[in-house]
Amino acid sequence: MSELDRSEFAAGFLIEADEHVRAASANLLAVEQALREGGPQHRMLRELFRSLHTLKGLSAMVGVDAIVEIAHEMESILRDLDRGAAKLNAGAIELLLQGVRAIELRLSAYAQGRSVPAAPTQLVEALAALQTSHDAETAEQAVDLSLDPELLQKLSPSELKHLRERLRAGARALRIDFYPSPARAASGFSITSVREQIAKLGEIVRVIPRAVPKSAAAPGGLAFALILLSDSADELLARAADTDPRSLMPIALTSRDEPAEPDELVPLNRGSIRVEVTRLDDALEKLSALVVTRFKLTHAVNALHERGVDVRELRAILGDNGRQLRDLRGAITRARMVSVAELLERVPLIVRGMKRTTGKQVRLVIDAGKAELDKAVAEHVFPAIVHLVRNAVDHAVETPEERRALGKAPEGMITVACAELTDTQLEIRVSDDGRGIDSAAVSRRTSRVQPKDERELLELITMPGLSTLDGATSNSGRGMGMDIVRRIAVELLGGELSLQTTPGRGSTFTMRLPLSISIVDSFAFLCGAQPFAVPMATIEQVIDLDAERIIHTPAPRANDAAVQLSLLQLRGEAVPLFGLASLLQLKAAEKARAKAFVVRPDGQALAFAIDRVLGQQEIVVRPVADPLVQMPGVAGTTDLGDGQPTLVLDLVRLSQIALRRSAEVSA
């Protein structure tokens, strides 16, 4: 195999192995839930077994022996669980989860080209010990009874065990069917009398009622199967049940067939193919180049038109090209989409681990529906979700004792819910029913004025370095969480972050995010003589400015025009109005401003006065990678077709800066 072939095979191995690790984790958590609630576990155990068996085979092909060893030990335990030869308990689930985690860590090492650690000796020995502890039970239950499956299912484990033990000791087991009827009742044979007579001749293990087709022998469509141990003669037993001795059925021990293991690796997702993300990134990059080329072509056509050239046919072709590019953009974007439910698959594992370390009782509810995100957005937002969930468990949810004292259920609830607001925007909410956020306590820790509302409270708790815990724990308390959430949701992804909290009732953090951050629909506009772009998803509306509806307030101090606040009457609401040119310290245009963008961060409307809207178009957003030129309120750069870099503004962030500076100057 060439180096190229080996590289491609390794990439395919990692993709499929990751799918099976995620499936194994999800099925183990589902088994744990079913065990807690007394529900069926068989299907999840079989899926878990299949995932580990496939992982073992794939790992053997690429020579990752450590994963082969771990998966083999886990597989042996699951084989017994699957056929009912061993019992599941919390300790076994914990050990199996540790095995999945160990496999995941070794896959990560392999993916990064590092040396794959050997299988952890302590874990392998613990798995082997668990298997050994099941050996006696496995030998006990490796046999079955010659009974109909319908009757076997109705016998309890203790009854089955008792029958097997007595049969091995040489006892005789029988099944006698009794069919009640009016004629038998008139003769004194009812199920009660038959049970009493049979009990004198042997040991009744179980009487099982059965529905049977109506017939002359069973006019009521009912029968009773008596399972018993007896050395009495068949004639005596038959007479007691008013039946023919030849109808008595002996019960014997039989061998149980081993469950069939998959004998080949079956590709998942039939009807679909796996594509490396780098290839999709490359396709998006080439599409971006086409979008920029179209801008340049549009500029060239406009220049021809200004020189008097008839460009009607060219404009028609440009229109067709624009529609085709939008369709292509949609196709590539759909190919890059990942399920939010899939993104959140690992959150239950995080909560499970924190429950163990904090001693809190927490129930996690995930409602992702069919929402999808661009893979790049998903990779960025997942750490933010993790921080919110960790904070909810560690900070918000009370201990069981505290909750009981407050009249709450001892088990707290955390909900992660998603919904697509528009074709371009997704909302993710992380809620808890815990203690809520004490604004006074936050104010004391930050040495700031106590916030008047939830927007100001959010500004405080997202300050870098803030922690509401007195000391760091293994989960949080180092002042990193909420600052990271704000930077990811607002600065990196250009979305919004909001908070709702009620003391004693709980909190909800809401992130509104773009589905994709590479190519977006935007407004291009002029502010002063400088062109800018702003994503359309952040704009509530574009309005014409009417001087009669504007109330100008004096600048708080001299030379503070940059933060001068005016008020705009908009549908009965007084909306703060800022001059964007002044805020950006640009020279204002000579003519009066004619337009304004209205945004509504955290539910509060604000307006930014601009000079002229140039148009509506798709843009390719490039992040500002150099930290020396990064600044709040700038989401990235783009090319509007003139070959010059144009700043893409984040008006939500700029509105927060403008309000804060205005408040500071007025103070």
The tens digit of pLDDT for each residue in 618-629 reads 787 776 656 566
Q: Which two tokens stand for residue 653?
A: 């962030």
Angle at CA 420, nearest 5°, toward 415 and 421?
110
pLDDT for position 375: 83
Concatenating the DSSP letter of every residue in 292-307 gives HHHHHHHHHHHHHHHT
Strand order in the sheet with 573-579: 541-544, 595-599, 606-610, 573-579, 566-570, 550-552
CA dist 589 and 607 (Å) reads 18
In a domain, 108, yes or no: yes
Check which CATH number belongs to the domain holding 415 and give it: 3.30.565.10
Query: Could you say which of 110, 137, 164 is where a domain stops?
Result: 137
pTM above 0.85, yes or no: no
Residue 193 belongs to what H/E stretch? helix 191-201
Q: Which domain holds residue 62?
A: 3-137
Residue 580 pLDDT class (50, 70, 90 cuts): confident
CA distance 485 to 413: 21
Q: Determine the average pLDDT of the residues in 56-63.
A: 82
167 with 316, same domain: the answer is no
Question: Nearest CA to 437 among 484, 504, 386, 483?
Answer: 504
Residue 263 within a domain: no
Q: Are residues 251 and 155 in the same domain?
A: yes
**175: in domain:** yes
The answer to whether residue 363 scores a pLDDT higher than 70 is: yes
Please name which of 516, 565, 557 lies closest in space to residue 536, comparing C-alpha atoms. 516
Q: Give residue-wise pLDDT tens across range 99-108.
A: 888 998 998 8
pLDDT confidence band for 1 (50 / 70 / 90): very low
Locate 42 and state its tokens: 């068989």
pLDDT in tens, 468-500: 554 444 444 433 468 888 888 887 787 788 899
DSSP states along 82-117: HTTSS---HHHHHHHHHHHHHHHHHHHHHHTTPPPP
Residues 430 and 531 occupy one common structural domain: no
> Predicted confidence band at 175 (pLDDT cuts at 50, 70, 90)?
very high
Question: Collapsing DSSP states into helix, strand and coil, what is residue 48?
Answer: helix
State what percent of residues in the chain have pLDDT above 70: 83
pLDDT at 2 over 70: no
pLDDT digits (tens, 9 = 90+) for 109-139: 888 888 889 988 888 888 887 776 554 444 4
Tell me, what's the pLDDT at 638? 83
Q: Answer yes or no: do 412 and 425 share one domain.
A: yes
Average pLDDT, the chain: 80
**Range in 150-159, 218-227, 267-276, 283-292 with the lowest mean pLDDT:** 267-276
Same domain, 482 and 625: no
- Give the CATH number of the domain where residue 194 resides: 3.30.70
Which has more pLDDT, 583 or 270?
A: 583
The CATH number covering residue 65 comes to 1.20.120.160
The b/e string for 283-308 (b: 16+ C-beta within 10 A; e otherwise) is bbeebbeebbebbeebeebeeeeeee
**Higher confidence at residue 227 or residue 587?**
227
Count the neighbouring beta carbons within 10 Å of the beta carbon of residue 310: 9
Residue type, 428: I
Are residues 491 and 360 both part of a single domain? yes
Q: Are residues 15 and 99 in the same domain?
A: yes
Measuring CA to CA, which residue among 563, 562, 567 is closest to residue 551?
567
CATH of the domain at 617: 2.40.50.180
**Phi and psi, residue 617, nearest 5°:** -160, 160
472 and 344 in a common domain: yes
- Are residue 456 and residue 474 in the same domain, yes or no? yes
The Cα–Cα gap between 248 and 232 comes to 12
Band of pLDDT at residue 47, cut at 50, 70 and 90: confident
Is there a domain that residue 261 lies in? no
CA angle (657 as vertex; 654, 658 as ends), nearest 5: 85
Same domain, 79 and 100: yes
The answer to whether position 266 is within a domain reads: no
CA distances from residue 387 to 322, 415, 496 in whole angstroms, order as listed: 41, 14, 16
Task: Tell me the residue type at 208.
Answer: I
Q: Does the residue 262 lie in any domain? A: no
Is pLDDT of 654 > 70?
Answer: yes
pLDDT in tens, 276-319: 777 877 887 788 788 878 878 888 898 899 899 999 999 899 88
438 and 537, same domain (yes or no):
no
Residue 412: the pLDDT is: 93
Residue 94 lies inside a defined structural domain of this protein: yes
CA dihedral 603→604→608→609, nearest 10 degrees, is: 120
Residue 272 within any structural domain of the chain: no
49 pLDDT more than 70: yes
- Into how many domains does the chain fold? 5
Q: How confident is the model at residue 80 (pLDDT cuts 50, 70, 90)?
A: low
Q: b/e for 265-274, b at 16 or more Cβ within 10 A?
A: eeeeeeeeee
Chain segment 383-410, per-residue pLDDT in tens: 899 899 999 998 899 999 999 999 999 9
User: Is pLDDT larger for residue 261 or for residue 142?
Assistant: 142
Give the confidence band of 272 by pLDDT, cuts at 50, 70, 90.
low
Residues 6 or more apart whose CB falls under 8 angstroms from that of 588 comprise: 528, 579, 581, 582, 611
- pLDDT for 602 equals 65
State the pLDDT at residue 24: 86
Nearest-angstrom CA–CA distance, 565 and 576 = 7
Give mean pLDDT, residues 520-533.
Answer: 86
pLDDT digits (tens, 9 = 90+) for 402-457: 999 999 999 999 999 998 877 677 889 999 999 999 888 888 887 888 888 888 88
Q: Are 249 and 243 in contact (CB under 8 A)?
A: no
Residue 631 and residue 553 share a domain: yes
Point out the domain boundary residue: 121, 137, 153: 137
How much of the chain exceeds pLDDT 90, in percent?
15
Domain-terminating residue out of 452, 483, 514: 514
**Beta bridge mates, 541:** 598
